[in-house]
């Protein structure tokens, strides 16, 4: 007798569920429906990345899934990858950066010899940062309105502005607050002790304790340094105004107004003259543009806000702090000396520079005055560490500096006629970038925010052109750009 005769017909036994595979498919489906997740995670989580210990490096880490998405779009023919106007200038700049690796072992005029291995690491991190910011620009610019509306991106940038204001206030009122980031537990202590930049990243503090006007805390959170805090704040405040105040709900307008008013306190306590100058230049430009357009109501509101800020400064101790800081320029001679050294180095290698920064011989007083046990901070300062322009000159020569500046200058000129709130905010951001090049380096977060401003100008221009040309199909961002070979389009 057969088995079937004994047991009867086999019943259909259902296969056991496969939760892992199902969960995997759901995750892939969610990622496919939300391709903008790396950018959202990057901006919304800024305080978290800072607290974990890799705030500046998160721009590099999350640029990896952005670059992967760009490659997938192109390889699968889902859409043609666009590039912004003037992108050839940026590609030529990157080429100069790569070629500069050949000069890392050379000793620049007026500089000290140092281990080439340190230069290679510094060059590598900075170059990867440039590539990551390139992916960020292309990724943000190629997302459609359906995937990441411009209003959503502007809202996120305004949210980061609120983070920066909150961090600045914490630096003013809790200047001694600091802690060890979780990442420090897995990084060897030898590396932390031998690298000041890494040490600062792994031991976050809400302020830098410096003796500019006596012992004081200069706000820095959620960034490692006060200058980076000021650079980012100036770039982000326009988005808080453009999206939260001008185009937000009543609640968002109140939050934006409170943030702008409260920002005045850490701005003054930062003792950051570069930030003050950048804000004055940018506000003056904004006032000029509003007057030229005849938008007297908005111009009047801006004037009233400035008048209120002037009154607050006049009746509080903030006025004395400003006066003392303007009269105290202890770093001016050192900055001037480093700027001259960077220019001399660029003259000696005008096309590709020396690949990386160098350390100055001696100090501003004398070539023989350098670091010692009694004065560990005297002399031997970093040539190129006093501003992005000087960094470009020593690292990439006159050619690299011209290509870098030319790319952003072209973007500013190209979109100068965009009078929408997002257009003016983007112009404002690029304008302060030019001012800050003289005193701030822009690697890490500052360059990332500049790239996002460029992407917003680029996308806003495309949207305005499409609106002027008439309505497009619902899937124009995808189907109209299909190309079997992927490719590039400007």
Contact assessment for residue 142 and residue 489, using Cβ atoms and an 8 Å cutoff: no
Q: Please, which pLDDT band fits residue 205 given cuts at 50, 70 and 90?
A: very high
pLDDT band at residue 52 using 50, 70 and 90 as cut-offs: very high
How many residues belong to the chain? 490
Q: Assign 407 a pLDDT band (cuts: 50, 70, 90).
A: very high
- Tens-digit pLDDT profile for residues 307-365: 766 776 666 666 666 666 555 655 667 778 888 999 999 999 999 999 998 888 865 44
| Higher-pLDDT residue of 309, 143 | 143
Residue 375 has pLDDT above 70, yes or no: no
333-334-336-342 Cα dihedral, nearest 10 degrees: 160
* pLDDT for position 4: 44
pLDDT of residue 1: 45
Q: What is the pLDDT of residue 479?
A: 40
Q: How many CA atoms lie within 13 A of 41 on its CB side?
A: 13
What pLDDT does residue 275 have?
87
What average pLDDT does the segment 400-409 reach? 97
pLDDT at 163: 97
pLDDT of the residue at 378: 52
pLDDT, mean of residues 292-302? 69
pLDDT of residue 394 exceeding 70, the answer is yes
Q: Which range among 14-23, 234-243, 302-311, 392-401 shows the weakest confidence by mean pLDDT?
A: 14-23
Using CA atoms, how far residue 161 sits from 41, 244, 295, 482, in Å, is 16, 11, 26, 37
**Residue 320 Cα distances to 277, 278, 323, 349, 399, angstroms:** 18, 20, 5, 45, 43
What mean pLDDT is predicted for residues 386-415?
96
pLDDT at 185: 85
Answer yes or no: is 471 within a domain: no
Q: What is the CA radius of gyration of the chain?
A: 26
Please give the tally of structural domains in the chain: 1
Give the structural domain span for 347: 36-464
pLDDT grade, residue 44 (50/70/90)?
A: very high
Q: What is the pLDDT of residue 317?
A: 62
Pairing of strands 382-383, 358-359: antiparallel
- Confidence class of residue 283 from pLDDT cuts 50, 70 and 90? confident
Confidence band of 42 (pLDDT split at 50, 70, 90): very high
Whether the pLDDT of residue 167 is over 80: the answer is yes
Number of Cβ within a 10 Å radius of residue 387: 22
Assess if residue 6 is contained within a domain: no
Q: Mapped to the 3 state alphabet, what secondary structure does 342-401 carry? A: HHHHHHHCCCCCCCCCEEECCCCCCCCCCCCCCCCCCCCCEECCCCHHHHHHHHHHHHHH
**Domain assignment of residue 20, yes or no:** no
User: What's the pLDDT band for 187 if we cut at 50, 70, 90?
Assistant: confident
**Which of the two residues, 23 and 76, has the higher pLDDT score?**
76
Residue 51 resides in a domain: yes
Please state, rounded to an integer, the average pLDDT across all residues of the chain: 82
Could you tell me the pLDDT band of residue 484, with boundaries at 50, 70 and 90? very low
Residue 23 within any structural domain of the chain: no
Q: What is the pTM of this model?
A: 0.85
Q: How confident is the model at residue 32 (pLDDT cuts 50, 70, 90)?
A: low
- Reference 243, options 78, 452, 443, 93; nearest CA is 452
Q: pLDDT at residue 162 above 50? A: yes
Give the separation between CA 5 and CA 210, rounded to whole angstroms: 91
Residue 395 has a pLDDT of 95
Domain presence at residue 475 = no
Q: Does residue 179 register a pLDDT over 80? A: yes
Q: Which of 64-73, 101-110, 116-125, 257-266 has the highest mean pLDDT?
A: 64-73
pLDDT reported for residue 472: 47
What mean pLDDT comes out for the span 71-100?
Answer: 94
Q: Which residues pair with 122 in a beta bridge?
A: none
Q: What is the pLDDT of residue 318?
A: 62
Residue 328 lies in a domain: yes
**Region of 214 on the Ramachandran plot (φ > 0 left; ψ -120 to 50 alpha; else beta):** left
Q: How confident is the model at residue 482 (pLDDT cuts 50, 70, 90)?
A: very low
């Amino acid at each position: 007798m057969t088995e079937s005769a004994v047991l009867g017909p086999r019943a259909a036994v259902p296969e056991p569920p496969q939760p892992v595979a199902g969960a995997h498919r759901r995750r892939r489906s969610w990622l496919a429906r939300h391709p903008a997740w790396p950018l959202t995670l990057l901006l919304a989580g800024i305080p978290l990345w800072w607290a974990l210990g890799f705030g500046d490096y998160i721009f590099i880490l999350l640029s990896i899934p952005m670059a992967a998405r760009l490659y997938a779009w192109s390889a699968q023919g889902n859409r043609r990858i666009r590039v912004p106007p003037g992108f050839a200038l940026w590609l030529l700049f990157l080429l100069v950066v790569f070629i500069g690796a050949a000069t890392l072992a050379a000793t620049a005029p007026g500089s000290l010899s140092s281990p080439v291995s340190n230069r290679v690491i510094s060059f590598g991190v900075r170059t990867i940062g440039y590539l990551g910011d390139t992916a960020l620009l292309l990724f943000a610019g190629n997302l459609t309105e359906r995937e990441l509306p411009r209003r959503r991106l502007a809202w996120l940038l305004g949210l980061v502005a609120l983070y920066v204001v909150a961090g600045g206030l914490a630096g003013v009122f809790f200047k001694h607050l600091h802690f060890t980031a979780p990442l420090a537990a897995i990084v060897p202590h030898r590396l932390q002790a031998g690298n000041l930049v890494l040490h600062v990243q792994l031991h976050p503090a809400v302020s830098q304790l410096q003796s500019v006007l006596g012992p004081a805390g200069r706000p820095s959170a959620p960034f490692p340094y006060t200058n980076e805090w000021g650079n980012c704040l100036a770039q982000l405040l326009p988005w808080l105004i453009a999206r939260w105040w001008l185009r937000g709900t009543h609640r968002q307008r109140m939050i934006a107004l409170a943030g702008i008013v409260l920002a005045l306190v850490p701005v003054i306590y930062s003792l950051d003259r570069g930030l003050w100058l950048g804000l004055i230049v940018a506000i003056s430009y904004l006032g000029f543009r509003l007057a030229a357009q005849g938008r007297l109501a908005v111009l009047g509101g801006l004037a009233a806000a400035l008048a209120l800020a002037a009154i607050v400064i006049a009746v509080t101790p903030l006025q004395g702090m400003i006066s003392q800081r303007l009269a105290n320029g202890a770093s001016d001679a050192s900055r001037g000396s480093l700027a001259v050294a960077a220019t001399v180095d660029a003259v000696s290698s005008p096309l590709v520079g020396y690949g990386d920064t160098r350390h100055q011989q001696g100090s501003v007083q004398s070539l023989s005055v350098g670091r010692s046990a009694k004065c560990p901070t005297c002399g031997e300062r970093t040539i190129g560490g006093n501003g992005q322009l000087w960094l470009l000159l020593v690292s990439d020569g006159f050619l690299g500096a011209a290509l870098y500046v030319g790319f952003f200058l072209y973007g500013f000129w190209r979109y100068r006629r965009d009078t929408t709130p997002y257009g003016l905010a983007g112009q404002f951001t690029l304008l302060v970038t030019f001012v800050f090049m003289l005193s701030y380096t822009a690697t890490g977060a500052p360059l990332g925010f500049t790239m996002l401003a460029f992407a917003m100008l680029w996308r806003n221009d495309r949207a305005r052109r499409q609106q002027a040309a008439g309505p497009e199909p619902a899937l124009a961002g995808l189907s109209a750009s299909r190309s079997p070979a992927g490719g590039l389009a400007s």
